[in-house]
Structure 1
Amino acid sequence: MYEFAVTPATLKIRRRGAEIAEVVPGSLGAELELEAGDRIIRINGRKVRDYLDFNFYTAGETQLTLEVIKRNGEHWELIVERDEDEEWGLTFEQIVPRQCANECIFCFCKGNPPDARPALFIRDEDVRLSFLYGNYTTLTSITEEEMERVIEQHLSPQYVSIHATDLDVRAYLLGIDRRRADITAKLRRLMDAGIEIHAQVVLCPTINDGPVLIRTIEDLAAHYPRIRSVAIVPLGLTRYNRDPRLVPVTAEFCRRVIAEVTPIQRRLRKRLGTTFAFLGDEIYLRAGHPIPSRRHYGDYPQIEDGVGMVRTFYENFNSLWRRLQRRPPAHPEKLNGTLLTGKLFAPILRERIERLNQRFGTRLHVLGVENRYFGPEIVVTGLITGSDILAMRQQIAGDFVAIPRVVFRGDEDIMLDGMRLPELQAEFEIPLHPTEDLHALLSKARDSN
């Protein structure tokens, strides 16, 4: 019934040690004459692989021996005495991610334009990034060394892409054999060591929905609270990923998923005290269903996976509304600009902004950006690119443009198509404001006027 193909992992060569990127003047690191480009390779005889090792081996230690390879190639051995809470003043290079060995049929990297920048084709499968940033791993190729490290350094929580507990289905989705797809022993070992697990299901119509999804939820819920939650998010197909095995997500499909999962959520809340199995916001929006209440999401354990973001927006907007009621904007007519967002979220934002305009006299406009870079089926905000924004230029009105911060990579000013904010700004005569939330935007726009 299922076929698979196995491709060897692509592993990037890693240099020894943790490379220093910056040293704070006057800090302990500066006193030790450490410099950017130096690499710390051992601490008290233990091999250092990255800054996580450095933090772990130095935590609470007052006497240490550091082995350093200077940027000029010299080898130093430093005997250090420090106060327990004394800061090193060191910033390290970013972790080079371990590459994925799977061939997931739904992998978003397969949906990139052929000329996309190389970084978009990196498929990470790294338990360190899972701990640090909530990146999902499948655990299919985790090594014994990595397993021991997660447990010893207590790199918890870990975010694990399960997709299906039916091993035949999971193997098919990941493009690997059934033996590698079985991570039961690995999960049990992590859970027994006190590592908290958050799971993910990328829902692919006709493959891991219906009875397969219901079984997956029930199997994972049996391990609560060691498995704390599962996020169920829809498959995303761009115009470049046309794998015939994949069926696009439709509104009807989303309505069916909600009807199947909602009774399970009710039972789990009654039994476990938590919803546990959370549907991504996109499923509710595509289905035309209302977003669940704040209580439904609890402490929002999967918000970074697009679960509960719309509810958070509602809560934040209500808070902003109350603040503006107490202190209305002094010159609301100056708040005249365009707010960009994805096509899916645009109706929700537009309804709230129209209320704001009517009540306070602001002149804000909402523009849902069509995604031409990845294709019209991609309607979420986070995948908007600079070229998409440029294509909508004629529809932009007002004295400024608000661009959601989520379209930029981390804290940088670069978008998925490689366009940087200054490059985009050069195409506009009005200021562009990257913004995290509506309140920050209103404050920034008001001050700039």
Structure 2
Amino acid sequence: MNRIRRCKNKCIFCFVDQLPPGLRPALYIKDDDFLFSYMHGNFITLTNLSSIEIGKIVKSRLGPLHISIHSLDPDIRKILFGTNNHLKAIKFFKILDSAGIRSNIQIVLVPGINDSKDLKNTIGKLCEEYENIDSIGIVPVGVTDYNENKKVRPVNSIEAGQIIMVLDQLKKKHGKKLSDTVFLSDEFYILAGKSLPSFNSYGKFFQIENGIGKSTDFLNEIKNNFHYLIKNDFICRNNLNILLITSEYGEVVLKEAVSLILDFLKNSIDPGQNISIGILVVKNTFLGGNVKVTGLLSGADIIEEFSNINTRIYDSIFIPDSIFNNDGLTIDDIDKLKIKKINKKIRIIPDNGKNFLKEIGKILYKIE
């Protein structure tokens, strides 16, 4: 841990600074390490690097890097980053791009600061002045109940719709280069109540781990893998009751997925069979604010929701593995095994469409 390059910025929206006290120490580490960016896709700001290190990156051809830009306006960058080193990062970024180091860019959108006109200017300059950007991902700022900066507030539904409209206008103006490069996170479309972009519009899904195109990819896998629900050599169960655990944002995607699945089963299996797939939405009271993504659900909130329902009526309960880290812990340090002990029918499943269907198929035909 001591060798990790630590971030010295004082970003007004830093999510680490918005975490509640008493969590495991690793969650409070602010890394800004270019090796982590190259190897694991962590976003770095370049403000904490030296010219020597930039030279090493170029010499070693380390790319693509994942870089947080947020804005190219000096005054706005100073507000966002809370440091005078922010201009150094732009100079370094130009050096890297000119040297052919490819990058994936992140813009954390903070309403009233780097949205609207500044967002247009940032995207325009990035697309026109830089040659080696694979993607530009725009994500709404995350705000928890522990946020103490009054300048930072969540993106609302009206603003989300406006951002979608701005991006559509920019794509018409700048053409294919921008259309193939700039993407909004799924949250904007969910917030605005708009349809998700098509699967093909995301290209290579460069920032799927950043929540950009993940919902569309999930639904695409559902639509193209229904064969996992047909097992001709096995007898299908007559009655099946499944419960899906998800977040407030996850509910929107799962509702569509469940509708697709039930329509398929209705037309492919005996209509007389009773197959039910319910959704239990867990609100994130642990972090609060506008944190509504599934991966940040706490174990305590899930356990609390279970205490309010009769879990015995379900044949299987699905919990996505994205809420656990590599050690099997939720953000509030509740072990995967502790949650599974609540009910022996709980299954921890990968949060992709293909494996989702595989798990339903196993239960449908009693295959373990």
Counterpart contact for 1:265–1:276, Cα < 8 Å:
no
- TM-score normalized with structure 1 length: 0.73
Shift of 1:200: 0.7
Aligned partner of 2:155 among 236, 243, 249: 249
Change (3 A) 1:213 1:183: same
**Aligned counterparts of 2:182 and 2:362: Cα–Cα separation in 1:** 38
Where in structure 2 are the equivalents of 1:70-219 lying within 5 Å? 97-177=4-84, 179-219=85-125
Give the AA of the match of 1:404: P
Change (3 A) 1:266 1:333: farther
Does the residue aligned with 2:249 lie in a helix, a strand or coil?
coil
Aligned partner of 1:220 among 98, 118, 126: 126
Aligned to 1:85: none
Does the residue aligned with 1:119 lie in a helix, a strand or coil?
helix
| Range moving further from structure 2, 199-208 or 375-384 | 375-384
Shift of 1:134: 0.9
- TM-score normalized with structure 2 length: 0.89
**Aligned counterparts of 2:328 and 2:239: Cα–Cα separation in 1:** 26
Give the AA of the match of 1:390: I
Counterpart contact for 2:228–2:357, Cα < 8 Å:
no
Where in structure 2 are the equivalents of 1:279-298 lying within 5 Å? 279-298=184-203
Change (3 A) 1:328 1:389: farther
| Range moving further from structure 2, 342-351 or 354-363 | 354-363
Shift of 1:119: 1.5
Q: If each structure's helix is expressed as a fraction of its own residues, which one has the higher value?
A: 2
Aligned to 1:232: 138
Change (3 A) 1:331 1:251: same
Question: What stretches of structure 2 of length at least 5 have no aligned partner?
Answer: 266-273
Give the AA of the match of 1:374: L
Aligned to 1:33: none
Aligned to 1:331: 236
**Aligned counterparts of 1:306 and 1:206: Cα–Cα separation in 2:** 23
Identity rate, percent: 30
Does the residue aligned with 2:137 lie in a helix, a strand or coil?
strand
Aligned to 2:268: none
**Aligned counterparts of 2:159 and 2:338: Cα–Cα separation in 1:** 40
**Aligned counterparts of 1:343 and 1:13: Cα–Cα separation in 2:** 37
Aligned partner of 1:390 among 296, 303, 317: 303
Change (3 A) 1:348 1:180: closer
Change (3 A) 1:113 1:333: farther
Asked if residue 266 in structure 1 is aligned to residue 172 in structure 2, the reply is: yes
Give the aligned CA root-mean-square deviation in angstroms: 2.2
Shift of 1:375: 1.0
Larger radius of gyration: 1
Aligned to 2:315: 399
Asked if residue 372 in structure 1 is aligned to residue 277 in structure 2, the reply is: no
**Quick one: higher RCO (CA 8 Å, sep 6+), 1 or 2?**
2
**Aligned counterparts of 1:328 and 1:275: Cα–Cα separation in 2:** 44
Question: What stretches of structure 1 of length at least 5 have no aligned partner?
Answer: 1-11, 15-96
Change (3 A) 1:376 1:358: farther
Shift of 1:114: 1.3
Superposed CA offset, 1:32-54 (max 9, x none): xxxxxxxxxxxxxxxxxxxxxxx
**Aligned counterparts of 2:235 and 2:185: Cα–Cα separation in 1:** 38
Does the residue aligned with 2:319 lie in a helix, a strand or coil?
strand
Superposed CA offset, 1:242-291 (max 9, x none): 31111221101101111111111233333x27431111110010000111
Counterpart contact for 1:353–1:366, Cα < 8 Å:
no
Counterpart contact for 1:350–1:365, Cα < 8 Å:
no
Change (3 A) 1:332 1:232: farther
Give the AA of the match of 1:306: G
Aligned to 2:270: none
Change (3 A) 1:172 1:273: closer
Counterpart contact for 1:157–1:198, Cα < 8 Å:
yes
Change (3 A) 1:433 1:444: farther
Aligned to 1:304: 209
Give the AA of the match of 2:254: L
Aligned partner of 2:334 among 414, 419, 432: 419
Give the AA of the match of 2:338: E
**Aligned counterparts of 1:148 and 1:330: Cα–Cα separation in 2:** 63
Counterpart contact for 2:247–2:281, Cα < 8 Å:
yes
Counterpart contact for 1:435–1:441, Cα < 8 Å:
no
Change (3 A) 1:260 1:320: same
Aligned to 1:431: 346
Superposed CA offset, 1:375-405 (max 9, x none): 1521111111111110110335512221112
Superposed CA offset, 1:84-121 (max 9, x none): xxxxxxxxxxxxx3110101110111221112222211
Shift of 1:428: 2.6
Shift of 1:322: 5.2
Change (3 A) 1:210 1:173: same
Change (3 A) 1:444 1:119: farther
**Aligned counterparts of 2:333 and 2:126: Cα–Cα separation in 1:** 39
